[in-house]
A = this chain, B = another copy of it.
Amino acid sequence: MSDTREKILLTALRLFARDGYEAVSVSAIAGMLGMTKGALYRHYKSKREIFDRIVERMVQLDNERARKHDVPEETFDQSPLAYRSATLDNIKSFTLSQFRFWTEDDFGRDFRKMVTLEQYRNPEIADWQQKVLADGPVSYMEDLFREMMAQGVLKSSNPRLLALDFYAPFYLLISMSDAPSNGENAMDLLTAHIENFIERNTVTRK
């Protein structure tokens, strides 16, 4: 309800993203907001609840983004290939938009970092990381590319290898953007990679 609740959530996420859940104390969160930890317990009943609300928020944001881009990100396994109309330009703009979210949007970037720090001790988080950031996108692109090969848009090859070629630079450039020095050119490199990829793998019509 109040916006103190929201400030607590965002501040906690910022700290969780840098130090990890266990290493962040309730006092530290409260102190950063200029209040005592007793006051924080008026808004959340435990430290764990803050974490849970953050995850809840991300799930909601993720569904909204998936719906907006017509990408069945949550349940693409069951969906009977609704992406028949996807074009390479769609894929390009969608990919760049995703990259911006995970590297420039405060919530997206901090949540991704928090997930990175919690993946080895929290199985639920590990699943999320694989589904949304690692294996999931590769499998999704694989299905997409297989379909586009059948339609003659892409040259025929191993669709899983092709999906790996397309997506892996996205993943690596996210990590590189976390280093304070080279945050600028990551976006340009990714753009160049995608255009290069399209040019190399598109069937040329004369």
Q: A104 → chain B, closest Cβ, in Å?
A: 17
Is residue A3 contacting chain B, with contact meaning CB distance below 8 A?
Answer: no
The CA-CA distance from A134 to B189 in the complex, in Å, is: 14
A120–B15 Cα distance when bound, in Å, is 10
Copies per assembly: 2
Residue pair A158, B196 in contact (C-beta under 8 Å): yes
Sorted nearest first, the 6 A-B pairs with minimum C-beta distance are A168-B168, A22-B23, A168-B172, A168-B169, A171-B172, A130-B179
25 contacts between A and B (CB under 8 A): A18-B120, A19-B22, A19-B120, A20-B20, A22-B23, A116-B116, A116-B117, A116-B120, A117-B117, A117-B120, A120-B178, A126-B178, A126-B179, A134-B179, A135-B182, A138-B172, A138-B176, A161-B192, A161-B193, A164-B169, A164-B172, A164-B173, A164-B189, A165-B193, A168-B172
